[in-house]
Structure 1
Amino acid sequence: MSIQKCRDYFRSLGLEDRIQEFDVSSATVELAAQAVGCPPERIAKTLSFLVDDKCVLIVAAGDAKIDNPKFKAQFHTKAKMLTPEQVVDFTGHAVGGVCPFALPEESETTVYLDRSLQRFSLVYPAAGSSNSAVALSLDELDRCAHSAGWIDVCKNWSAV
């Protein structure tokens, strides 16, 4: 169902052909990288947090980890991940397929892109299911995710 919402969304943008569905799970960065056939850092994982009772999605490179001091400086609160139930309520996507696309209109969700992605020209976020991905340039990701902008809240990644 969630993949269908993403498929419909990307069809409206003329990008439906970019969605890949796999016969295997892509629910983790490692599994997604194997399914896509790319290095794990090119997987654009979507992390979901609760900030002031609203959902904040941060799309980051597969090798990046949230840096708590940077997160607190950016959002003025500690990083608190959503529960699996909250993830579905806010995003309409289940854990393993969370993506910044086709979000419920009534959801108070803001999407940010972490600068850990900026070393790549093409990345692979999920497309609403635990066995999908969509190939997007950074400009396409920014536009398709209706991003609120680029932020720097991650660590443990290295520039190319």
Structure 2
Amino acid sequence: MHPTADRFTSRASDELGFDVRVEEFPEGTKTAADAAAAIDCDVGQIVKSLVFVADDDVVVVLTAGDNRVSEERLASELDSDDVRTANPDEVKAATGWSIGGVPPFLHEERVPVYLDESLLAHDQVWAAAGTPEAVFPLKPDELERLADPTPVDAFGSA
């Protein structure tokens, strides 16, 4: 297992008591479509952990792989003047993970997490486990319990 995915697995167990079953795909799971094809699941079951800066605050938005975040709608939902995608340095500093491998929880800083509730319609979803090649399954209720997200309506079809 990649050392970063191993670090995620250890932290999940040690800090949350959550046993993670990581699956790695050498061809990568960089996009939701790539991940769904590798796992053999619906694109809507892929949890994208996207990092944004709302005004000056970093936030993480968990959205289904078949949805996209509308920055305008997110700004409205968060009552922010400006929302933009975080740059790679901001992502790494706030979450402790690199773009493409950000899990839905276990972030370096305490950042607000928001949820696309369409993820809750599935029996199982898949999320990044620290690297663009590593993912893990979890049930939507586990996602809610571990990430403690706030539902938002800032999504559209990808």
Give TM-score, length-normalised by structure 1.
Answer: 0.86
Other structure's SS at 2:85 match:
coil
Name the counterpart of 1:55: 58
Which residue among 5, 8, 12 is the counterpart of 1:6?
A: 8
CA distance in 2, matches of 1:144, 1:19: 16
Name the counterpart of 1:66: 69
Superposed structure 1 runs of 4+ greater than 6 Å apart: none
Number of residue pairs the alignment of both structures matches: 153
Say yes or no: does 1:95 pair with 2:99.
yes
Question: Is the CA contact 1:50–1:56 (under 8 Å) kept in the aligned structure 2?
Answer: yes
Residue identity (%): 29
Name the counterpart of 1:141: 143
Which digits, 9 at most, give the CA deviation of each residue in 1:49-108, with x for residues without a partner? 01242211011100101134421221122321100111111111111111222211xx24
Which residue among 9, 22, 27 is the counterpart of 2:25?
A: 22
CA distance in 2, matches of 1:123, 1:132: 14
CA distance in 1, matches of 2:100, 2:18: 25
**What is the CA RMSD across the aligned residues, in angstroms?**
1.7
The AA in structure 2 aligned to 1:150 is P
Name the counterpart of 1:131: 133
Change (3 A) 1:54 1:69: closer
CA distance in 2, matches of 1:67, 1:130: 23
CA distance in 2, matches of 1:3, 1:89: 18
Which residue among 74, 79, 83 is the counterpart of 1:79?
A: 83
Structure 2 stretches lacking a partner, 5+ long: none
CA distance in 2, matches of 1:115, 1:14: 22
Other structure's SS at 1:80 match:
strand
Which digits, 9 at most, give the CA deviation of each residue in 1:1-27, with x for residues without a partner? 4322311123232422x2212222011
Question: Is the CA contact 1:26–1:131 (under 8 Å) kept in the aligned structure 2?
Answer: yes
Give TM-score, length-normalised by structure 2.
Answer: 0.87
Question: Is the CA contact 1:6–1:101 (under 8 Å) kept in the aligned structure 2?
Answer: no
Say yes or no: does 1:46 pair with 2:49.
yes
